Structure 1
Amino acid sequence: MLIKRARSPVWIALALTLALAACGRNKGDESPPEPGDTAVATVDGHTVWASDVKREAVAQGLISEGEPLDIGSDLFRQRLDEVVDQKLLAAEALKRRLDKDPVAQRRLAAARERILGDMLVESVVEKAVNENAIRGLYAEQQKLSKRSEEIRARQILVASQAEGEAIKKLLSTGASFDALAMERSTDAATRFNGGDLGYFTVDVMPEAYALALKDVQKGALVGPFATEGGWAVLRIEDKRLEEPITLEAARPQIVRFLTYDQVRDLLEKLRGGSKVKILTAKQQDLPGAPREPASAPLTPLEGGPTTPAPPAAAPSNLAPSPAPARKP
């Protein structure tokens, strides 16, 4: 099978590293690298395991760490073909003694360091980012978070203030809001559902709405007031405190923060106990000089770090952002 996508130098270096390790084993003495692992192919007598293919899929960002990968799926077969290709390329490179080149040796060493660094980070994070830590940070943030007030309202939008006053008078005498919204409202987004705007916080609404809804009570008729689309008459259906975000919804954000926090602490500790001296001077910014655009973060396969730089503080906004209400 032809390799369908270009491979970075680091990817090839990783393949060479794997091949060097494989060449050190006897062909008849290959045990599963993980409990319950499955042999899925052999390349010149060396076994390719299902875990090798899954690791490739994780490295390419096609599945997440810990996510299952069915060995009968097309995704698995495509990655298996790529793993076989990598091993064939690495074996051929060894035959040509490319690994003896000083530049190749430095690249192989860099790939080995990167893999070992990733393994250290994984082991530290696995111990620290556990259920107790996740629940503890969630509880702490819930105590600190402020819950906004949500309003549920219905609206009828008309062309003039006079028409709005007439609508409000009809509503105050018991007319059906749903019927008037369907007959009179010019807001196509809400007229056919009784003018229902759903639940919202005033900060997501246009300024005219925020001013008109300040300190309103449940059941009140509000307006008419001028908006960009005309004159609005609202009825307040309900008021409540915003629902707090659930633990499961907040879990991905919490896990990311705890991971970043552990990586930051680990690197600070390592740098504090080592002698690191930067030999290149920082480039001085010149007034008016063009700035180089920031590069996109590199993935591990491109030579970038496994985890991004940690945030400066814990996430303090675990409350869900309310969905914007429809603008009239």
Structure 2
Amino acid sequence: MTAKRPFRIAVMAVVVALSVTACGRDAGGDSPPERGDKAVAKVDGKIIWASDVKHEAVAQGLVGEGEPLDTSSDLFRRMMDEVIDQKLLAAEARRRKLDKDPAAQRRLIAAEDRVLGDMLVENQVADAVTENAIRGLYEEQQKLSRRSMEIRARQIVLATAAEADQVKKLLAAGAAFEALAMERSRDAATRFNGGDLGYFTTDVMPEAYETALNGARVGQVVGPVAVEGGFALVKVEDVREEQPIALDAARPQIVRFLTYDRIRDLLEKLRAKAKVETLIKPEAGAPKAVPPADAPKVAPVPAAAQPQTKGTAK
């Protein structure tokens, strides 16, 4: 084992080690806990499986639930060392009979509640978040979404309106827009790609662009437009119907919505059947709890799956 790992890891391991001893049961065994599992170490004759190491990496947020973890990688070796430490700490805690202490018992029960709750959630999510469910919600959203027209344009940003008028005359005389953008534009983000802004809908642009481009035709140069940093000339390259967000791009947010929806539904049913009594009252004037800003909104379909804007605008 490596000797230079931070002391905080050992402290975290003590907490996890206590949960391993929950109700005096050990999760070890000679049979693989998962299909295709692999024994990777032994501690006093008890096997540590590759899945044990993977679960530790997932718990620490170092890999995702569905991501692979190569047993030959440095991360796997580091996580395996931590699992070994946990086993050693748990065994020592048992030897000292810390698992018999009343305070420890309550913490062990709480740890077991968390593990069982997580397993129930995983089970419910596996049933709800299927490929058919993801595709079905995606297709439903595509049918309901309203698509705008989107524009592909290039820009040249100049310091003054007079300079912009001068460049516009050069364009009218046949100068290449892309070449003048590279030579004269002040916008560092688009200058070296010929002023290309990509595809966008006008509603995401600054108001000056939106007004100038309203009704513009392919090939038309509009401006000068007063913008941040100077005055812009904008050439319309293409106009098309807004493209829908691809399924692969929408998938993470759809999965998140389906997960939240299933767990919310499960908790509502469980609370309806249970007798839950709150024995403390909120203080007068205390603010009400609000969900995190990134919590999914309860809606028929996920707002996150709405088509997104293509390209960037400066």
Letter paired with 1:280: I
User: 1:136 Cα shift?
Assistant: 0.7
Letter paired with 1:216: A
| Distance in 1, Cα, partners of 2:295 & 2:227 | 44
> In the alignment, what sits opposite 2:83?
83
| Distance in 2, Cα, partners of 1:158 & 1:152 | 20
Q: Which moved more, 1:231-240 or 1:167-176?
A: 167-176
- The counterpart of 1:315, out of the listed 260, 285, 302, is 302
> In the alignment, what sits opposite 2:247?
247
Q: Is the 8 A contact 1:10 1:111 kept in 2?
A: no
Q: Which moved more, 1:212-221 or 1:133-142?
A: 212-221
Correspondence 1:127 to 2:127: yes
User: 1:251 Cα shift?
Assistant: 0.7
> In the alignment, what sits opposite 1:16?
21
Cα deviation 1:289-318 (Å, max 9, x = unaligned): xx8999999xxxxxxxxxx96532231242
- Higher RCO (C-alpha 8 Å, min separation 6): 1
| Distance in 2, Cα, partners of 1:52 & 1:89 | 16
Q: Percent identity?
A: 60
Q: Which moved more, 1:239-248 or 1:182-191?
A: 182-191
| Distance in 1, Cα, partners of 2:171 & 2:62 | 56
> In the alignment, what sits opposite 1:218?
218
Letter paired with 1:44: D
User: 1:148 Cα shift?
Assistant: 2.9
> In the alignment, what sits opposite 1:301?
none
Cα deviation 1:148-203 (Å, max 9, x = unaligned): 32212223334443443343344334333234444544445444443333322223
Letter paired with 1:121: V
- Tell me the SS of whatever aligns to 2:135: helix
In the superposition, relative to structure 1, how do residues 74 and 154 fare at CA in structure 2: closer, same or farther (>3 Å)?
Answer: closer
In the superposition, relative to structure 1, how do residues 199 and 311 fare at CA in structure 2: closer, same or farther (>3 Å)?
Answer: closer
Q: Is the 8 A contact 2:208 2:225 kept in 1?
A: yes
- Tell me the SS of whatever aligns to 1:277: coil
| Distance in 1, Cα, partners of 2:295 & 2:201 | 33
| Distance in 1, Cα, partners of 2:150 & 2:17 | 55
In the superposition, relative to structure 1, how do residues 229 and 273 fare at CA in structure 2: closer, same or farther (>3 Å)?
Answer: same
> In the alignment, what sits opposite 2:145?
145
| Distance in 1, Cα, partners of 2:289 & 2:128 | 36
Q: Is the 8 A contact 2:38 2:49 kept in 1?
A: yes
Q: Which runs of 5+ in 1 are unaligned?
A: 298-307
| Distance in 2, Cα, partners of 1:22 & 1:123 | 22
- Tell me the SS of whatever aligns to 1:7: helix
| Distance in 1, Cα, partners of 2:40 & 2:192 | 58
In the superposition, relative to structure 1, how do residues 82 and 100 fare at CA in structure 2: closer, same or farther (>3 Å)?
Answer: same
> In the alignment, what sits opposite 1:174?
174
| Distance in 2, Cα, partners of 1:61 & 1:119 | 17
User: 1:81 Cα shift?
Assistant: 1.1
In the superposition, relative to structure 1, how do residues 129 and 186 fare at CA in structure 2: closer, same or farther (>3 Å)?
Answer: closer
Letter paired with 1:269: K
How do residues 1-328 of structure 1 correspond to structure 2 at under 5 angstroms?
Answer: 1=1, 4=6, 5=9, 6-7=11-12, 10-17=15-22, 20-22=24-26, 30-285=30-285, 311-313=297-299, 314-318=301-305, 319-326=307-314
| Distance in 1, Cα, partners of 2:68 & 2:38 | 13
Q: Is the 8 A contact 2:58 2:64 kept in 1?
A: yes
- Tell me the SS of whatever aligns to 1:151: strand
Letter paired with 1:13: L
User: TM-score normalised to the size of structure 2?
Assistant: 0.86
Q: Is the 8 A contact 1:10 1:107 kept in 2?
A: no
Letter paired with 1:21: R
Letter paired with 1:241: E
| Distance in 1, Cα, partners of 2:295 & 2:231 | 49
Q: Which moved more, 1:51-60 or 1:266-275?
A: 51-60
| Distance in 1, Cα, partners of 2:101 & 2:188 | 71
Cα deviation 1:112-168 (Å, max 9, x = unaligned): 111111111111111121111111100111122222322122233344434433433
User: 1:223 Cα shift?
Assistant: 2.0
| Distance in 2, Cα, partners of 1:184 & 1:35 | 63
In the superposition, relative to structure 1, how do residues 74 and 270 fare at CA in structure 2: closer, same or farther (>3 Å)?
Answer: same
User: TM-score normalised to the size of structure 1?
Assistant: 0.83
Give the total of aligned pairs: 307
